Amino acid sequence: MSAVSVPPPKRLQKPLVVPHRHMFGPGPSNVPPRILEAGANPVIGHMHPEIFEIMNDIKSGIQYLFQTQNNMTLAVSGTGHTAMECAIFNTVEPGDSVLTAVNGIWGERAAEMAERIGARVNSIVTPPGGYFTNAEIEQALLKYRPALFFLAHGESSTGVLHPLDGIGQLCHKIYSYFICVTLSDSVMSVLTGIDILYTGSQKVLNAPPGTAPISFSERACQKIFNRKSKPVSFFLDLSWLANYWGCDGKASRTYHHTGPVTAFYSLRESLAVLVEEGLENSWDRHQKVAEYFHRGLESMGLKLFVKDIKARLPTVTTIVAPRGYNWKDITSYIMKTHNLEISGGLGPSVGLVLRVGLMGRNSSKHSADMVLAALKDALQHCHKSKV
């Protein structure tokens, strides 16, 4: 038995201390106690029948959340980025043409992921806060004839809810597959043309980050299960995931990876909360709270970054960074004084906006009022240059 040469770190002899904080940024948002407590249930095996039942519950819950009958619906054992790679790795083969719509960070990241696995990537780009018309999208689809088209439904970096009506049909007309990221639960029946849809657990679902709901259409599965090369990732190979999630019709499940069972408990509970409220009620509440919040901002003289009312995300609001202020002073002041997170921009929107997320349990007039009061206070107390 050798002696240890690296001594025990003193910092681990102090107890874990986690502050309570109002999480009104673009996610993670506050997790209700019942969801946190669900995650503290005892660990059982990742292949035990009870876990398969819980996974079946999750599958049903995601089908409800996404309003889809897709059989290939599951949660990836990882974050939203893992789900994004799962979607791209499974659909795209080296040399495939990929088109990404870039109106914020997600299109950029999708392009980067597809490039890394040898796709020929083209992008259409519009400044942060904007979105694409169906005519622009059709033109690009005809020009690049992509095997895959990526679009962010909920562009959390800019606060844009992208109109989706008819885009799926455009893609299918030229044999492209349509992949889409969302962070809102405002997924409506117009989404029927989407082939792959995913989100992160820590957005409106109010679960801790660490799992990511994803759904593949029959059409997407056709492409995926007839590809010539294996996907680059064994861990994210849909044929394995489909088996682990009981989506491949086989009688038994083979060990693939050790699912994060406690994260599955939390995710299930977050879906149960959604089922309790009802999806329509949740949509309605998010929409009304967003409108209430937006009116409050405008009555303070603040400007909304997304001009087109219909293209405003009900979950993440972007506010034009107030003139004369350093946006970092505002977010820091609010964190320090109000113990409340709102954030600046991300990727292309850095410096342009403040971002406020009111999602899941945080979507309430009470939370909106807290943010409005904190902003008012910050604008009075933060340094303002005389422009």
| Residues forming beta bridges with residue 197, ordered by sequence position | 180, 215
Q: How far is the CB of 299 from a copy of itself (least distance, A)?
A: 25
Structure-token match 């904007």, residue found: 130
Consult the annotation and say whether 253 binds a ligand: no
List the one residue out of 346, 363, 358 whose CA is nearest residue 317: 358
Residue 78, burial from CB neighbour count under 10 angstroms (0-12, 13-18, 19+): buried
Binding piece for a copy of itself, criterion CB under 8 A, among 137-145, 219-227, 228-236, 326-334: 228-236
What single string gives the DSSP state of each residue in 116-177? HTT-EEEEEE--TT----HHHHHHHHHHH--SEEEEESEETTTTEE---TTHHHHHHHTT-E
The interface mask with a copy of itself, positions 342-361, x = CB under 8 A, is: ----x---------------
| Closer residue to a copy of itself, CB minimum distance, 172 or 361 | 361
Site map 174..213 versus a copy of itself, x via CB under 8 A? --------------xxx---------x-x-----xxx---
Q: Which residues within the stretch 47-106 sit at the binding site for a copy of itself (CB under 8 A)?
A: 48, 50, 54, 56-57, 60-61, 63-64, 67-69, 77-82, 84-85
- Residue holding tokens 């673009």? 26
Task: Give, as ranges, the residues between 245 and 304 that touch a copy of itself (CB under 8 A).
Answer: 255-263, 265-266, 268-269, 271-272, 275-276, 278-280, 283-284, 287
Nearer to a copy of itself among residue 64 and residue 384 (C-beta): 64
Q: Tell me whether residue 141 or residue 294 sits nearer to a copy of itself (CB atom).
A: 294
Least Å distance between CB 73 and a copy of itself? 11
- Antiparallel, parallel or unpaired: β 196-198 and 160-161: unpaired
367 binds a copy of itself (CB under 8 A): no
The structure tokens 């009802």 sit at 278
Size of interface with a copy of itself, in residues (CB under 8 A): 102
The minimum distance between CB 386 and a copy of itself, in angstroms, equals 29
CA distance 328 to 31: 26
| From 12-20, 136-144, 243-251, 363-371, span contacting a copy of itself (CB under 8 A) | 12-20
Could you tell me the smallest distance in angstroms from the CB atom of residue 115 to a copy of itself? Answer: 8
The DSSP code sequence of 303-336 is -BS--SGGGB-SSEEEEEPPTTS-HHHHHHHHHH
Residue 341 touching a copy of itself (CB under 8 A): yes
Tokens for 13, please give them: 């002899």
Those residues with Cβ within 8 angstroms of residue 66's Cβ, 6 or more apart along the chain or in another chain: 73, 187, 191, 197, 213, 215
Known binding-site positions: 355
Known binding-site positions for substrate: 355
